[in-house]
Amino acid sequence: MKYHFYKSNFIAILLLLYKSRYHNMKEKHTIQKNLLLAEFDRMQRITGHMHNFDVIWSPQNNSQIEGKVEDNTITIYSENIQDALDTLQHEFVDYMISQAINPYITLVNSLMSIITKEAYETKEKSVEALLKLINDSKK
């Protein structure tokens, strides 16, 4: 519980510093990045998931996407901190849900592969039978 209290205070202090008008842009970006990392740490602690992941905040004003999860890295492209926090939460939850449905996707893909193979073999047998019928009728 002491750790949780510490994290809550840490986030509150970062928010206070962020709202302060007495820091330069580099400090502002560092504070924002720390806010993002603190939120990620909070989500990891609560869920017990994604402990081997990194978060990269790379604000881009022309990005077609707000964020993505790839190779154990959550990359956030949102420009402002509130959007970045929202994107982080979205990507975190999306990844967890995706992991839960992956076994079903694997199952469906395996079944599709088997059915596709069987359908192809059946079609080929039908083509051969019809070719025999056509060739036999020419005689």
Q: Which residues have CB under 8 Å from 57's CB, separation 6+? A: 32, 33, 36, 76, 84
Domain interval for residue 82: 2-100
- Where does the pLDDT of residue 51 fall: very low under 50, low under 70, confident under 90, or very high at 90 and above? confident
HEC string of the chain?
CHHHHHHHHHHHHHHHHHHCCCCCHHHHHHHHHHHHHHHHHHHHHHHCCCCCCEEEECCCCCCCCCEEEECCEEEECCCCHHHHHHHHHHHHHHHHHHHHHHHHHHHHHHHHHHHHHHHHHHHHHHHHHHHHHHHHHHC
Q: Could you tell me the pTM of the whole model? A: 0.65
Q: Is residue 120 part of a domain?
A: no
> Which pLDDT score, from 0 to 100, does residue 18 have?
58
Indicate the number of domains in the chain.
1
Q: Model confidence over 62-114: pLDDT tens digits?
A: 889 999 999 999 999 998 999 999 999 999 999 999 999 999 999 999 999 99
> Which pLDDT score, from 0 to 100, does residue 32 have?
87
What CATH number has the domain bearing residue 7? 3.30.2010
> Which pLDDT score, from 0 to 100, does residue 78 have?
93
Q: Is residue 82 part of a domain?
A: yes
